[in-house]
Every structure is written in structure tokens, then in C-alpha cells.
Amino acid sequence: MFDITILGAGRIGRIHARNVAAHPALRLKYVTDPNAAASDAVAAETGATVTDLDTVLADESVRGVIIASSTDLHLDQAARAITAGKAVLCEKPLDMDLARAQAAAPILGGDVPLMLGFNRRFDPHFATLKARLEAGAVGTLETLQITSHDPAPPPVSYIKVSGGLFKDMAIHDFDMARWLLGEPVVEVYAAASCLVDPAIGEAGDVDTAKTLLRTATGKLCVISNSRRSGYGYDQRIEAFGSQGLLRADNILESSVSTWGGAGGNPGAASDAFQNFFLDRYAEAYRQEVAHFAEILAGAAQPSVGYADGVAALALAEAAARSVATGQAVRL
């Protein structure tokens, strides 16, 4: 059994803590968070001990560290844990600044495993789409359409420290695009607006964006992002190939639908979309921690690592630059 520490006992930290506690090969030994109430709650639920980062790094029994702290701490905490010889699962993004993330390559790009928390790669539906794509089910991939719309915007207080829509929200979609396209993106064009909440614009961010990615061979990917859908958590992928279409649709609260007629026209009403990312991606988070356990056991290398984190961050910065200049950005 491998001892794990979680840095950050907020929303994501609590999910990781529960998944670690439920995994037969892992034990949550420590939890750290400057918010004592949050860390105490996780400790009470999982049996972990509340401590500080210095104690964690000095404890040779700790094999892995999951970083779920605020984004501004990710890079430094990952570097300290890696230097101490601990394998790391770090939430996205790796940092707010691409140059800082790239400069950390000598430490974070070395032999000690670093896994990035792009959990959507572990979603069973998206993973099945990826497997069928690689098996040639629709021939050669030509274009992608990725839709990622939140049900409602987060508080403006969060927006102000989030890093912006591209680094906070769309970065998942940038990673998904890279994963499915299977080749480097060489050009980014993005357009964005503030259509949902004027306060988001006043905070210096946007809430609605369309991004076009182009690869060297001409494959295209369109990413649609919005902080508000008005109809639930909208998460869809369409992969158009030379011989057909692969599509991963939204997950409903249930598979029950109601059929009836109005004015002689038949109609059907299905159940609502799952309305929160922790519900939609619950299994993805479980599989993500299971992969981390395989890494600790030496049975796997990180399937999404430091280079992926840097590449997704590069796309996020390119998209923001494209919005600011109104021009496509070459990579």
C-alpha cells in the first residue's frame, strides 16, 4: 500500500481524497491546507492526519503527492515534491505563466513521475471515442468539434484568480484536442466576448469563446466554450473522419424519457443533463487516481505528463493572444 498526501482540501482535493481512500492500493496519510476547517473535514472523513508541506516532504514513507491547491501554488509545490523524490499528480494548469512552466523542465521533466490532472482523458466515453478513432472506425480524422459549456458561471471572486477562461476552463479542451488530433497544433485563432455576466468583463475576463486549431497536415478543431449553457453541463465531442463520424454525447440524469403528443405532433422529453462537472466526470476522477496508483507501483508511466501540461498552457496563451490581437497565432 502506498502512502499519499493531498495538498489542498477544497472541492477537487476532497474528491481526490475520497478516491484515494477508496482505492485498495492507496492510503491517504496526510492532508494539508491553510484552511484548517477544510483540512480537518477531509481528515475526519478519510482518517488522514493534518500536517504541513515540510513534514510531508521529509516523510520517506510518502510515495505520492496530489496537488489540488490554488493554481498559483501548483508549480512550486510540484517542484518541491519532485525534488524530494515524490511522484506527483498535479491539477491543471501547471502554472499561470508559460515561461515559468517551461523553465521548470530540468526538475519537472526528469525521471520522477509527474502526472497532469487532465481528467477528461480518463472519462470512459471519451476514451472509447479515442480508441475507436485510433482503430480507424471512421477512417482518417479530418476535423473535431469540442463543446464545453458550463451550466452557470462561477463567482466573480473566482474569476479574478482563475487565470482566465482559456487557462482555467478551455485548457481541458486544448488537452483533449491535442490528444485526439494526434499531432501538434501549429496555428490558433480565437474570438471571445463577455455575453453572460458584465462583471466577468469588468474583472478582465471573457465568458464566451470560439477557438480554431489547425495542425501541420491541415486537421481542424473548433472548440466552443461558454460559462453558461442555460440547459445543463454540455460536454460533447464530434470527430469527423474520411469514412464517418464518432460522437460522444452528454450524459443524462437517467435514461428515462417521456413520450406524448401535442397538437397531433409526437414529441419526447428526456431527462436533464448531469448539471455539475463532479457528477459528469466522477468516473474519470476515479480512473485518474487508479492510473496514479499504477505509476506508483511501477506498472505505468504517466499517460499525460509535464510536456502535455506545457503544450496545453501554450495553446491557452496563444488563444488569449489571438483574442487580444484579432490575428491567428502561429506556434
pLDDT at 316: 98
CA distance 15 to 177: 25
Show the low-confidence residues of the chain (pLDDT under 50). 264-265
pLDDT at 256: 75
pTM of the model: 0.93
Domains of the chain in start order, with CATH, are 1-111 (3.40.50.720), 120-280+309-328 (3.30.360.10)
pLDDT at 266: 52
* Residue labelled with grid coordinates 472519462: 123
pLDDT at 2: 98
Cα dist. 36→10, 11, 19, 50, 109 in Å? 11, 14, 21, 9, 33
CA distance 214 to 189: 9
Show Cβ contacts of residue 155 under 8 Å, excluding neighbours closer than 6 positions.
none
* Residue labelled with grid coordinates 497544433: 185
pLDDT at 230: 86
pLDDT at 250: 86
Show Cβ contacts of residue 230 under 8 Å, excluding neighbours closer than 6 positions.
151
pLDDT at 231: 86
CA distance 278 to 297: 27
Among 231, 230, 243, 219, residue whose Cα is nearest residue 145 = 219
Bridge partners for 26 per DSSP: 2
On the 0-12 / 13-18 / 19+ scale of CB atoms within 10 A, 260 is exposed
Show Cβ contacts of residue 130 under 8 Å, excluding neighbours closer than 6 positions.
121, 179, 180
